[in-house]
């Protein structure tokens, strides 16, 4: 126990946080596979190593750290891993920028090396931010998806799913970003509003409206509604496509909206999802008008080599020239774009690899997972239910996990490597054996690579130690924390992959956090200039204030607006609490207090309130309501401990009263519990407070299981607290200073109270607690005139009237006569002209009488 005079006056978060971060050891946060404790494995999100750990990540990590620290204190063997989801386009683009090259200027291998180098550098920067936030990461479970030991597992999972019939290769329309030159999954298409022109033109005598005239070359049919009278005569006929001249059939289909445009539509391969649907349903031919780079193909004749926009303008100009463009309307449209680069996507038919989406399996597993908050479950269910296309997992990029297959150059047979040889790059290595089907030794290595979600959707399998030899003993994980923006991707794919590879749900529960919005309420973005970097907050207010902001922002799952005021309030709470700790420790350490019972009423009251707070915080953390937990701690500290309790018992603490020891014991218990309750939220601050009066680290203490029931103390204590506050107000209203002598109070309560003199010391009064009613003597004390009545009624006689009333004997005042005599004239007493006043006395001494609820208080003023 340190002596009180060594406690610094001010809490310097910079010095304290830095010191503890240097003192704490990583090993204390390691998951111990041989531990007999129950496990608590957290499937943390692996962020993309951009080099900046943004505030949205930081919020999510605050939540994770609260859980990890709380569960450790509750006796769990916790795994809080840190992964890095490395592959993907943004890094490729950055590398091209940094080195001033395009990916085709160097070998694939060299390009990957450059990407890896940049990624490692970025990971280094982000690790530093994680440490600065005070997160209790298990660094022995760090994983980096681009390293061979990880992507070996990605490849293994691919081969297993291929063998199990989940994965197939097919030519099928896919969403394609022509800027990124890669297929993307449906979940990666975002929809944006856009203004465009609806062009009405003559299509071989029929008016058709289209927003995409550049797809005219890809037109394979025209469709009308079967009940549309205007077009009934066209059923079964063929039309000639303007400018291109090929014949297309006219189809009748109930999905056509007769009220849109002219009511007749072109079917092109492919303008949208509906085109794909019709193309399949009517077995229409495939006409590819746009290639993977977004250029018009040879099919487009003189428009070949133009991009879609150039082609559109050229075709419209030619329509105009031919006199077939009738009119144009401006319309609002939602257009699908690439979620990474915002380029409008094209639907291209390509040979790609797919994973079968078995919605029933996924929904079944989803039902067996607890969702926090519960309504987020619906988002995943809706997505799984409306899934029409399988998951396209092949990408035409470089910095990604290679698809580990070859195809036989002679017969086309797919050849896979031995699992023991993984990881492999089929573009650099060759199969060990000739083709099993035709014996050929010529192979073509697969150039396509895997979608990065293929890496990250096995995060939980990776951390639990999956190696393909069965389900790991520590699988499933206990919780998956993640943002709601990646429910359709990361959560969905993880469930899909876990079910496919283990037949089980990946986690017991999933905790979904909201997004962080800028101070202006909008999504943080460079263009709005409303981005707040966690480092900015850390430098100005420290990690613990930042963590409190994360906890208090809003209910779990809701978006949270960044607000400097909340950070400032968090920092002030620490200052306030530090002052409380200093005061308490100064008192506790004044003289040694032996162990013993807590006896005084208010001390028992404090412990009863503390026990309720502990239960409230525990319940909040069990259900991941971090804001409720921290609010309960703050309210208890500020209101109950500081404003009520300490203000009331200060006098006893300063005294040599026999009951002083009871207060010291109650305060020690309270401080001990508060440090533990605060440890998950503000580890540096809790550790620093703890170190002032306890040995060891608060972080390895057990969670307070503090039960203290004392219904009587709670009821009577509440009574004393509210009475004291009322009396203090009364004293103030009398114009007395708070510490001025107040006089003698007798407090009559329905049941006996013994507050060991705390209220008396707090009010600087003599206090006697009594039950029953006071024996009050009522003494007349003049009258109060109602001038609003007297003035108009008596006018000039008013003054004389009042003198006459004042001269009446006391007993007449209570029972006023009908008339009084003024200057020898009897004047009628107007109704409500005056009210008699009384004073009270006890045993002949004048007292003030206050009624506060069921309590009567008499005060003989000083
Ligand atoms: Zn793109
Ligand atoms: Zn072959």
Asked if pLDDT for residue 2 goes beyond 70, the answer is no
Longest Cα–Cα distance of the chain, Å, equals: 142
C-alpha 265 chain-centroid distance: 45
Q: What is the 3-state secondary structure (H, E, C) of 435-498?
A: CCCCCCCCEEECCCEECHHHHHCCHHHHHCCCCCCCCCCCCCEEEEEEEHHHHHHHHHHHHHHH
Helix (H, G, I), strand (E, B) or coil at 665: helix
CB atoms within 10 A of CB 134: 25
| Nearest partner of 208 among 217, 199, 216, judged by Cα | 199
Tokens 């809790």, residue located: 686
* CA 433 to ligand 2 centroid distance, Å: 11
* CA 164 to ligand 2 centroid distance, Å: 22
- First-to-final CA distance of the chain: 44
| Gap between the Cα atoms of 21 and 542, Å rounded | 12
Per DSSP, what are the bridge partners of residue 601?
Answer: none
* CA 617 to ligand 2 centroid distance, Å: 66
| Gap between the Cα atoms of 719 and 753, Å rounded | 9
* Ligand lying closest to the C-alpha of residue 411: 2
Average pLDDT, the chain: 93
* CA 89 to ligand 1 centroid distance, Å: 8
Residue 465 — left, alpha, or beta (φ > 0 → left; ψ -120 to 50 → alpha)? left
* CA 429 to ligand 2 centroid distance, Å: 17
pLDDT at 562: 93
List own/partner pairs for 844-852 with CB under 8 A and 24 or more apart: 844/777, 846/779, 847/776, 849/774, 849/776, 850/726, 850/727, 850/730, 852/722, 852/723, 852/726
| Gap between the Cα atoms of 543 and 553, Å rounded | 15
* CA 178 to ligand 1 centroid distance, Å: 7
pLDDT at 4: 46
Tokens 């479950």, residue located: 377
pLDDT at 790: 84
Per-residue pLDDT tens over the stretch 285-318: 999 999 999 999 999 999 999 999 999 999 999 9
Per-residue pLDDT tens over the stretch 236-284: 899 999 999 999 999 999 999 999 888 999 999 999 989 999 998 999 9
Tokens 């090259």, residue located: 101
Per-residue pLDDT tens over the stretch 190-245: 898 999 999 999 999 999 999 999 999 999 999 999 999 999 888 889 999 999 99
Which residues, at least 6 apart from 747, have a Cβ–Cβ distance to it below 8 Å?
A: 723, 753, 767, 768, 769, 770, 855, 856, 857
pTM: 0.87
* Ligand lying closest to the C-alpha of residue 88: 1
Q: What is the residue-wise DSSP string for 135-163?
A: ----GGGEEETTSHHHHHHHHHHHHHHHH
Between these two residues, 1 and 548, which has the higher pLDDT value?
548
**Among the ranges given (482-486, 552-556, 811-815), the one the predictor scored with the smallest mean pLDDT:** 811-815
* Ligand lying closest to the C-alpha of residue 441: 2
In a 10 Å sphere around its CB, with 0-12 CB exposed, 13-18 middle and 19+ buried, how is residue 528 labelled?
exposed
Asked if pLDDT for residue 3 goes beyond 80, the answer is no
Contact 185/453 with Cβ under 8 angstroms?
Answer: yes
* CA 442 to ligand 2 centroid distance, Å: 8
Segment 157-164 mean pLDDT: 97
- Proportion of the chain above pLDDT 90, given as a percent: 79
* CA 845 to ligand 2 centroid distance, Å: 117
Tokens standing for 137? Answer: 């990461």
| Gap between the Cα atoms of 363 and 653, Å rounded | 62
Would you say the C-alpha torsion 449, 452, 453, 455 has a positive or negative sign? positive
> Angle at which helices 564-588 and 660-678 pack, to 10 degrees?
150
| Gap between the Cα atoms of 187 and 171, Å rounded | 20
* CA 92 to ligand 1 centroid distance, Å: 12
pLDDT at 799: 85
**Ion ligand 2 — residues with CB < 5 Å:** 408, 410-411, 413, 435, 437-438, 440
**Per-residue exposure over 62-84, b if at least 16 CB sit within 10 Å of its own CB, e if not:** bbbbbbbbbbbbbebbbbbbbbb
Per DSSP, what are the bridge partners of residue 335?
Answer: 192
Which residues, at least 6 apart from 121, have a Cβ–Cβ distance to it below 8 Å?
A: 51
Contact 73/676 with Cβ under 8 angstroms?
Answer: yes
Q: What is the residue-wise DSSP string for 792-846?
A: HHHGGGHHHHHHHHHTS-HHHHHS--SEEEETTEEEEPPTTSEEEEEEEEETTEE
Which residues, at least 6 apart from 336, have a Cβ–Cβ distance to it below 8 Å?
A: 175, 189, 190, 191, 344, 345
Segment 833-846 mean pLDDT: 86
* CA 416 to ligand 2 centroid distance, Å: 12
* Ligand lying closest to the C-alpha of residue 175: 1
Helix (H) or strand (E) holding 560: strand 560-561
In the DSSP assignment, the letter for residue 542 is H
Per-residue pLDDT tens over the stretch 685-695: 999 999 999 99
Please provide residue 609's backbone torsions phi and psi, each rounded to the nearest 5 degrees: -65, -40
Per-residue pLDDT tens over the stretch 642-661: 999 999 999 999 999 889 99
Segment 105-127 mean pLDDT: 96
* Ligand lying closest to the C-alpha of residue 407: 2
Q: What is the residue-wise DSSP string for 170-210?
A: EEEEEEEETTTTEEE-GGGEEEEEEEEEEEEEEETTEEEEE
> How many C-alpha atoms does 130 have within 13 Å on its Cβ side?
27
Which residues, at least 6 apart from 698, have a Cβ–Cβ distance to it below 8 Å?
A: 675, 676, 679, 686, 687, 689, 690
| Gap between the Cα atoms of 415 and 245, Å rounded | 44
Helix (H, G, I), strand (E, B) or coil at 530: coil
Please provide residue 53's backbone torsions phi and psi, each rounded to the nearest 5 degrees: -85, 100
Please provide residue 767's backbone torsions phi and psi, each rounded to the nearest 5 degrees: -125, 130
**Among the ranges given (110-119, 408-417, 510-519, 793-802), the one the predictor scored with the smallest mean pLDDT:** 793-802
Peptide bond into 270 cis (omega under 30): yes
- Proportion of the chain above pLDDT 70, given as a percent: 99
Asked if pLDDT for residue 435 goes beyond 50, the answer is yes
* CA 701 to ligand 2 centroid distance, Å: 65
* CA 357 to ligand 2 centroid distance, Å: 30
* CA 434 to ligand 2 centroid distance, Å: 8
In a 10 Å sphere around its CB, with 0-12 CB exposed, 13-18 middle and 19+ buried, how is residue 363 labelled?
middle
| Gap between the Cα atoms of 46 and 119, Å rounded | 13
CB atoms within 10 A of CB 220: 22
Tokens standing for 200? Answer: 């009405």
Q: What is the residue-wise DSSP string for 384-405?
A: HHT--S-EE-EES-SSSPBP--
Helix (H, G, I), strand (E, B) or coil at 217: helix
Per DSSP, what are the bridge partners of residue 176?
Answer: 183, 346
Per-residue pLDDT tens over the stretch 685-728: 999 999 999 999 999 999 998 899 999 999 999 999 999 999 99
Q: What is the 3-state secondary structure (H, E, C) of 231-265?
A: HHHHCCCEEECCCCCCEEEEEECCCCCCCCCCCEE
* CA 345 to ligand 1 centroid distance, Å: 8
* Ligand lying closest to the C-alpha of residue 415: 2
Asked if pLDDT for residue 129 goes beyond 70, the answer is yes
* Ligand lying closest to the C-alpha of residue 433: 2
Between these two residues, 677 and 188, which has the higher pLDDT value?
677
Contact 680/65 with Cβ under 8 angstroms?
Answer: yes
Q: How confident is the model at residue 1 (pLDDT cuts 50, 70, 90)?
A: very low
| Gap between the Cα atoms of 585 and 691, Å rounded | 12
| Nearest partner of 571 among 693, 682, 698, judged by Cα | 682
pLDDT at 5: 53
* CA 756 to ligand 2 centroid distance, Å: 96
Per-residue pLDDT tens over the stretch 742-762: 999 999 999 999 999 999 999
| Gap between the Cα atoms of 666 and 672, Å rounded | 10
Q: How confident is the model at residue 834 (pLDDT cuts 50, 70, 90)?
A: confident
* Ligand lying closest to the C-alpha of residue 443: 2
Q: How confident is the model at residue 330 (pLDDT cuts 50, 70, 90)?
A: very high
């Amino acid at each position: 126990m340190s002596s009180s005079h060594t406690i610094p006056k001010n809490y310097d978060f910079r010095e304290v946080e830095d010191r503890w971060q240097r003192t704490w050891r990583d090993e204390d946060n390691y998951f111990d596979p041989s531990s007999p404790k129950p496990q608590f494995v957290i499937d943390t999100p692996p962020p993309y190593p951009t080099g900046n750990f943004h505030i949205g990540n930081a919020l999510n990590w605050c939540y994770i750290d609260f859980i990890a620290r709380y569960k450790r204190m509750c006796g769990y063997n916790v795994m809080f891993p840190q992964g890095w989801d490395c592959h993907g386009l943004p890094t490729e683009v950055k590398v091209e920028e940094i080195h001033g090259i395009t990916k085709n200027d160097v070998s694939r291998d060299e390009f990957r090396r450059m990407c890896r180098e940049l990624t490692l550098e970025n990971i280094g920067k982000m690790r530093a931010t994680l440490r600065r936030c005070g997160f209790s990461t298990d660094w022995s479970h760090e994983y980096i998806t681009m390293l061979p030991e990880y992507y070996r597992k990605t490849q293994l999972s691919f081969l297993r799913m291929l063998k199990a019939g989940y994965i197939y290769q097919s030519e099928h329309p896919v969403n394609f970003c022509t800027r990124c030159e890669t297929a993307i999954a449906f979940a990666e298409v975002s929809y944006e509003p856009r203004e465009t022109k609806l062009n009405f033109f003559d299509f071989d005598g029929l008016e058709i409206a289209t927003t995409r005239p550049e797809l005219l070359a890809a037109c394979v049919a025209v469709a009308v509604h079967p009940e549309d009278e205007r077009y009934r005569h066209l059923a079964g006929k063929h039309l000639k496509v303007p400018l291109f001249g090929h014949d297309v059939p006219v189809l009748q289909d109930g999905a056509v909206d007769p009220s849109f445009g002219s009511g007749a539509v072109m079917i092109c391969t492919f303008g949208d999802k509906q085109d794909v649907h019709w193309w399949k349903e009517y077995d229409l031919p495939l006409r590819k008008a746009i290639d993977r780079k977004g250029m018009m193909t040879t099919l487009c004749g003189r428009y070949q080599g133009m991009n879609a926009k150039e082609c559109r303008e050229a075709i419209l100009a030619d329509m105009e020239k031919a006199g077939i463009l009738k009119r144009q309307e401006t319309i609002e449209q939602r257009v699908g774009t690439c979620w990474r680069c915002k380029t409008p996507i094209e639907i291209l038919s390509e040979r790609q690899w797919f994973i079968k989406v078995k919605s029933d399996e996924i929904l079944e597993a989803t039902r067996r997972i607890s969702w926090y908050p519960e309504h987020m479950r619906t988002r995943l269910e809706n997505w799984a239910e409306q899934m029409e296309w399988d998951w396209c997992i092949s990408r035409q990029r470089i910095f990604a996990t290679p698809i580990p297959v070859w195809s036989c150059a002679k017969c086309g047979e797919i050849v896979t490597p031995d699992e023991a040889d993984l990881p492999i790059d089929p573009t650099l290595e060759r199969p060990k054996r000739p083709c099993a089907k035709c014996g050929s030794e010529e192979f073509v290595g697969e150039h396509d690579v895997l979608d990065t979600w293929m890496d990250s959707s096995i995060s939980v399998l990776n951390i639990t130690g999956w190696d393909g030899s069965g389900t790991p003993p520590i699988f499933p994980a206990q919780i998956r924390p993640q943002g709601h923006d990646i429910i359709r991707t990361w959560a969905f794919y993880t469930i899909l992959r876990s079910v496919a590879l283990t037949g089980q749900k990946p986690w017991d529960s999933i905790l979904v956090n909201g997004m962080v919005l800028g101070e202006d309420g909008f999504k943080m973005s460079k263009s709005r200039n409303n981005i707040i970097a966690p480092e900015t907050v850390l430098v100005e207010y420290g990690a613990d204030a930042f963590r409190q902001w994360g906890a208090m922002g809003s209910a779990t799952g809701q978006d949270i607006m960044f607000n400097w005021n909340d950070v400032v309030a968090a920092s002030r709470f620490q200052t306030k609490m530090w002052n409380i700790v200093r005061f308490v420790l100064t008192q506790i350490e004044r003289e040694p207090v032996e162990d013993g019972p807590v006896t005084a009423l208010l001390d028992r009251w404090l412990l009863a309130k503390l026990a309720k707070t502990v239960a409230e915080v525990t319940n909040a953390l069990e259900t991941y309501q971090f804001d409720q937990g921290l609010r309960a701690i703050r309210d208890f500290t500020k209101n109950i401990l500081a404003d009520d309790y300490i203000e009331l018992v200060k006098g006893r603490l300063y005294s040599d009263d026999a009951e002083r020891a009871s207060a010291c014991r109650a305060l020690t218990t309270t401080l001990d519990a508060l440090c533990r309750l605060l440890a998950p939220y503000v580890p540096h601050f809790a550790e620093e407070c703890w170190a002032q009066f306890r040995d060891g680290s608060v972080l390895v203490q057990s969670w307070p299981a503090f039960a203290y029931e004392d219904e009587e103390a709670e009821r009577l204590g509440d009574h004393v607290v509210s009475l004291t506050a009322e009396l203090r107000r009364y004293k103030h209203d009398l114009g007395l200073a708070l510490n001025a002598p107040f006089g003698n109070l007798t407090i009559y309560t329905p049941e006996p109270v013994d507050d060991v003199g705390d209220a008396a010391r707090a009010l600087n009064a003599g206090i006697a607690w009594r039950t029953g009613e006071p024996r009050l003597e009522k003494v007349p004390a003049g009258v109060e005139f109602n001038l609003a009545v007297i003035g108009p009624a008596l006018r000039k006689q008013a003054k004389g009237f009042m003198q006459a009333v004042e001269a009446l004997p006391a007993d007449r005042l209570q029972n006023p006569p009908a008339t009084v005599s003024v200057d020898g004239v009897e004047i009628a007493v107007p109704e409500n002209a005056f009210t008699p006043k009384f004073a009270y006395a006890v045993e002949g001494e004048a007292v003030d009488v206050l009624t506060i609820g069921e309590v009567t208080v008499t005060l003989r003023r000083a």
